[in-house]
Amino acid sequence: MYVVVSVLVVLLASSSLAQIQGELNCTAYNGTSFVYSASAVACSNVLSDQYCQVAYPSANSWLGYPEEGSSFQRPLLCFTTGTTSSSPTSKDAKTAAIAHCPKTCGLCCQTSTYSCQNAPFPRLNCASVTKAMCLSITWRQILAEDCPNFCGFCDLNGCIDLVTGCDSDVSICNAIGMQEFVNLNCRRTCGRCSVATPKPCSGR
């Protein structure tokens, strides 16, 4: 009898940990429960993932950490200094989590790079944007202007490098013969944000 009761207690506790409680930022209701949105885990931790998992132990070791579409409890230390999900939210706990381990805590949408509003009349449906588009030279400038919170472009003020990797060799910024390329593709890294991006030629 004692074994049966113990098993039931464990199952009930596990069931409660399989639901997001206490802190609902970066989640969406899917009709039956709150689940983590894509923007909850879209960023990278500022500190190493290994450190973040030590600093913010999972609410249950077999459930793991927040993932897009999942509904299990985020680590308690991400939002409270208490011992249960119903403990009062701690502003200091959340601030520290967002600053250092936002992905581990499922709070990427609260970081400065993801917490802005998209354009009121975007040139495309922001809900249809993919991660591949965030890296595409064709789409990056448009997304920085119209759908910045999906790609983490919120703090770039619309000025972005069209190609990734410009910052890996900043000598390109002053290279003779590369200025046209730099002005178009490496505007943020090279401080060319005041240089207008060329508009597509209109056909006759």
**Which are the contacts of 115, defined by CB distance < 8 A and separation ≥ 6?**
109, 149, 154
Distance, CA of 69 to CA of 27 (rounded, Å):
9
pLDDT at 75: 95
Q: Determine the length of the chain.
A: 204
Four-CA torsion 117, 76, 18, 35, nearest 10 degrees: 0
Among 142, 111, 112, 114, smallest CA distance to 129 is for 142
Q: What percent of the chain has pLDDT over 90?
A: 57
Chain mean position to CA 181? 30
pLDDT at 193: 82
pLDDT at 43: 94
Question: What are the domain boundaries of the chain?
Answer: 27-110, 126-185
Q: Mean pLDDT for the chain?
A: 85
Structure tokens, 114: 């993801």
Instruction: Give 125-137 pLDDT, tens digit per residue.
Output: 998 999 899 989 8
pLDDT at 162: 87
Instruction: Give 56-103 pLDDT, tens digit per residue.
Output: 999 877 778 999 999 989 999 999 999 888 899 999 999 999 999 999
| Contact criterion met (CB below 8 Å) for 72 and 63 | yes
Global pTM?
0.74
Instruction: Give 127-172 pLDDT, tens digit per residue.
Output: 899 989 998 989 988 999 999 999 999 988 888 888 888 888 899 9
